[in-house]
Amino acid sequence: MSAHHRSARIKSVHSRARYLGSCAAVALATMLSAAPARAQDAAALNAEAAQNDWPTHHGTYKSYHYSGLEQINAGNVKNLEVAWTHFPERATRGLQSTPLAADGVLYYSGSYSRVYALDGATGRTIWTYAPELDEELVAKQTHSPYNRGIALGGGNLFVGTVDGRVLALDMKSGKQMWDTRLLDSKKVTVGFTGAPLIVKDTLIIGAQGGEWPGRGPIFGLDTKTGKKKWEFFTVAGTEEAMATWGNESWRTGGGGGWMPGAYDPETNSVWWGTANPAPLYDWSGPDWKKSGARPGDNLYTTSVIALDPDTGKLKFYHQELPHDAWDFDSAVGEFVMLERGGKKLVVHPNKSGFVFVYDRSNAKVENVWPLVKNINFVKSIDPKTGELIGRRDLVAGKAETPLCPAIAGGISWNSGSYSPKTGLYYKIGQEWCMELTVQKTTPILEPMAQLNIAADFKLVAPPDGPARGHLSARDPVSGEKKWEVNYKAPPLSSVLATAGNLVFVPDAEGVVHAYNAEDGKELWSHNNGMGHNAGIISYMAGGKQYVAIPAGWGSLVSDEYIALYGEPFKSMAKNTGALVVFALKQ
Amino acid sequence: MPIRFVMIAWMAVIGPSLSDAAFAQSASPSGQPAKPPEASADDLDGQQVFLNTCGFCHQDGGRAQGRGPKLSKSERSDDYIIERIKKGKPGAMPAFGSVFSDGQIIAILAYIRGLDD
């Protein structure tokens, strides 16, 4: 909703209130103005396409990362040029966040949870916010100090911090409204890097975890007060789940949910992907149900879970990889919600390189298809049941052949994009493997020294060629491929498809590509001068369409590129960044 | 480097291969292990500490460039490496100065110095 429409409606309602001339009428007017605003916001959130605004991390609740705007299109994209640029302060590890846009204002976060509100048409700064963090703690963290996104709702902007807090800021002024500590990060080492998800009046955010020995909580907070409403442990969050961790290994189980999930209003379910158990690798071999570091299935790690947003109660789940012994977690946040043949489905990529398709009402597996070629941690996954066939459970010592994919995954946390116009899902895949020696370890409980890997490893090329990446355009349900573009180094940015029949890919070397969404033909490119490992959005401001791309290199996956590819990554600046915004030439 | 550091480092290299009995043979006449006050037996397993905490970035056990640089055959001085472990490098490496004891840091250094390519 545009600002002037909102104020016009408020004005008309207020004049009616004056006419009635009573306090009761004023109260009624307030309700009348709030209700349609909420209804309109809800409609935008539930839409397939993000239109003028980009209201939530995944575009809308349907997670398409798709813009319905078509002012910039396949016919005129050759005229796209830089409209304005913004430089964030302290861009340690580059920029990794996905911006949001509302009513012509662009909001984005940088490292140390710094937040910027900018005029979407000109880039003029409206306000900035730099939270005071526990700097001593942050200096001791590995998966830090980057931030991957923010949320908007009820006039506030929300951001998590790596020292374990969630903050609410007034969208208009940047004034802090509340500050809630959820994690004692001095003890558990980790905090929050992922964007929150807002559902009605609840903010949902997942903690980092994985190789860190906590219980990986996901929290629900009251958006107005910041008060905690609920907490769900992705490690042993129910009695049933606790029984899947032998030797009380749930106490150091890892888990977490470090990227935001999505919301299905039809079943009132929040879908969230959970992280891997700790240690990353296990020495149990095929006897993993009874021996090793964490005997059993290790619920609810490496799973997709559906939570009631109001209570945090688990409704249903599917564990994508029971007893994940390869660090192929399910924390990739996108849950592409679509309908096919009258069936309501949700498509979710797993880090292993497999894409899972579920029945949206109960997480029953409808299909599983591989996005990447180089997979050998299993022989296959049964597309009807999701059962892992021919698991490769390692024992202590050097693995005979490299494990594929490598620790960086066949799929990383950057989101793909689904175009309802072409019916194609555009997704980055990664082809690489790693030499691996599994080591027995004991969980360390000393804060900041708790990383529990249980292996040493080295990334190597896969058997079928060099380590590489690709963007493929596929049917999201069957996985059937229509076209593919290959890259020497896998792009680590999210992808944006638009109604202008375009697919944008900001790549690792710094070049932004625009492809024809139908056939993958490159139509435009621009070098931003540094690699991308963040999001990409499109929005309207002052009647004009913009494409906003954070540039800035330095994620934990991108750090691998020096050894794999040499230049330009060896010389690429890591601790800098820029938000580069494009529009059509006047 | 102080002699005491070198001694701990040497012990760290051979420490993982020493059984309890072998360790006991090096005990002082009083029957107590002859070790400096700030180090404990657990500190001496530099390999274990390295694999748990450092190997995530310094890959192949420190023998290969990964997220962090290759450490085997490093030309950096002992003092430089100790300082880097303690203070870290913003945006690249956490500061472990208050996480590991001096004994553990020396054990990590000894592990690094003992690495083949």
Cβ–Cβ below 8 Å for A453 and B55: yes
CA angle centred on A535, ends A160 and A550, rounded to 5°: 95
Whole-angstrom distance, CA of residue A518 vs CA of residue A525: 17
Q: Do B52 and A453 touch (CB under 8 A)?
A: yes
Partner A, chain B 24-53, Cβ-Cβ below 8 Å: 48-49, 51-53
Question: Is residue B109 a part of any domain in this protein?
Answer: yes
Within-domain flag for B35: no
Beta-bridged to residue A202, according to DSSP, are A199, A222
Instruction: State which H helix or E strand residue A187 sits in.
Output: helix A185-188
Q: Check if A561 contacts B (Cβ < 8 Å).
A: no
User: Is B97 within the bounds of a domain?
Assistant: yes
The Cα A347–Cα A366 span in angstroms is: 10
**pLDDT of A324:** 97
Number of domains in chain B: 1
Burial A379-395 (b: 16+ CB within 10 A, else e): eebebeebebeebbbbe
Question: Is residue B48 one of the residues assigned to a domain?
Answer: yes
At residue A60, the pLDDT reads 98
What are the counts of helices (DSSP H) followed by strands (DSSP E) for chain B?
5, 0
Q: Which residues of A are less than 8 Å from B53 in CB distance?
A: 444, 449, 451
pLDDT at position A577 is 97
What is the residue-level pLDDT of chain A in tens, covering all 586 positions? Answer: 333 443 333 333 343 434 344 444 444 444 445 565 667 788 889 999 999 999 999 999 999 999 999 999 999 999 999 999 999 999 999 999 999 999 999 999 999 999 999 999 999 999 999 999 999 999 988 899 999 999 999 999 999 999 999 999 999 999 999 999 999 998 888 999 999 999 999 999 999 988 888 899 999 999 999 999 999 999 999 999 999 999 999 999 999 999 999 999 999 999 999 999 998 899 999 999 999 999 999 999 999 999 999 999 999 999 999 999 999 999 998 999 999 999 999 999 999 999 999 999 999 999 999 999 999 999 999 999 999 999 999 999 999 999 999 999 999 999 999 999 999 999 999 999 999 999 887 777 676 666 777 788 999 999 999 999 999 999 999 999 999 999 999 999 999 999 999 999 999 999 999 999 999 999 999 999 999 999 999 999 999 999 999 999 999 999 999 999 999 999 999 899 999 999 999 8
Tallying the residues shown for chain A, one arrives at: 586
The domain that holds B96 is classified in CATH as 1.10.760.10
Omega before A466 within 30 of 0, i.e. cis: no
Chain A residues whose beta carbon lies within 8 Å of the beta carbon of residue B63: 458
Active site residue A327: yes
Give domain status of residue B31, yes or no.
Answer: no
- Residue B83 placed within a domain: yes
Nearest to B53 among A437, A451, A563 (CB): A451
Of B57, B66, B99, the CB nearest to A446: B99
Query: What is the domain extent for residue B80?
Result: 3-25+41-113
- Annotated catalytic residue within A324, A327, A329, A507: A327
Q: Taking CB atoms and an 8 Å limit, are A449 and B52 in contact across chains?
A: yes
- Give the Å distances, CA to CA, from B68 to A61, A560, B46, B71, B94: 38, 8, 18, 9, 11
Element (H, E) at A185: helix A185-188
Q: Is residue B19 part of a domain?
A: yes
pLDDT for the residue A379: 98
The token duo for A496 is 């944006």
pLDDT computed for residue B29 by the predictor? 34
The pLDDT value recorded for residue A329 is: 95
More confident residue, A476 or B45: A476
Minimal C-alpha gap between A390 and chain B (Å):
27
A455 touches chain B (CB under 8 A): yes
Residue of B nearest to A434 (CA): B60
